[in-house]
Amino acid sequence: MRLIRTILSFIVFVFLAGMVGFCPPALAESSNPAWHDLTPQEQHILHRLKDRWDRIPLARKQRLLKGARLWSRLTPAERVEVKRRFRRWKRMSPERRKRIRESYRRFMKLSPDEQDRLRHVFKWWRSLPPERRKRLMKHWRGMSPAAKKRFLHKR
């Protein structure tokens, strides 16, 4: 159950991080833009940060700008979904968020094939009716680690 919960939490985090512009500093631009250097659209999206923009560290500015650019390309329905997921993220305890971040780091260390495998399992899991998921969770708790591994690789 904990493994599946961790996988589900991780997938939500990956989607959320991708939608709001998670970007490692190494991939971000190298300039340190002042507020007046931003496009009107970026300023509109980031308007709450105007008064403190000059005090924000470069790496964070770059992530915020990437997020603003991604946000501007989202459909209204996608924006609603991102906001819903972000509210959920904010309601999580710091410990829960920490576990999700750790899961994300572990996921990113997997090979592309293993990542695809986990995505496939997650998609399969989400397609199941709630009652079937409940029965599988009960079954999962009674399985040995080897049986769990075989089960996941069959999917």
Instruction: Round to whole Å and give the CA distance between 50 and 76.
Output: 24
Tell me what pLDDT residue 31 has. 81
Query: What pLDDT band is residue 23 in, cutting at 50, 70 and 90?
Result: very low
Query: What pLDDT band is residue 142 in, cutting at 50, 70 and 90?
Result: very high
Instruction: Round to whole Å and give the CA distance between 76 and 68.
Output: 14
Query: What pLDDT band is residue 33 in, cutting at 50, 70 and 90?
Result: very high
Taking 60 as the threshold, does the pLDDT of residue 128 lie above it?
A: yes
Taking 60 as the threshold, does the pLDDT of residue 12 lie above it?
A: no
Query: What pLDDT band is residue 131 in, cutting at 50, 70 and 90?
Result: very high
Query: What pLDDT band is residue 5 in, cutting at 50, 70 and 90?
Result: low
Encode 56-82: b = buried (16+ Cβ within 10 Å), e = exposed: eeeeebbbbbbbbebbeeeeeeeeeeb
Tell me what pLDDT residue 14 has. 53
Residue 124, classified by CB atoms within 10 Å of its CB into exposed (0-12), middle (13-18) or buried (19+), is exposed
Taking 80 as the threshold, does the pLDDT of residue 97 lie above it?
A: yes
Tell me what pLDDT residue 151 has. 82
Query: What pLDDT band is residue 16 in, cutting at 50, 70 and 90?
Result: low
Residue 16 to residues 9, 52, 149, Cα–Cα distance (Å): 10, 25, 27
Q: Where are the domains of the chain?
A: 2-109, 111-155
- Whether the full predicted model's pTM is greater than 0.75, yes or no, is no
Average pLDDT over the chain reads 84
Q: Which of 104, 80, 90 is nearest to 24 (CA)?
A: 104
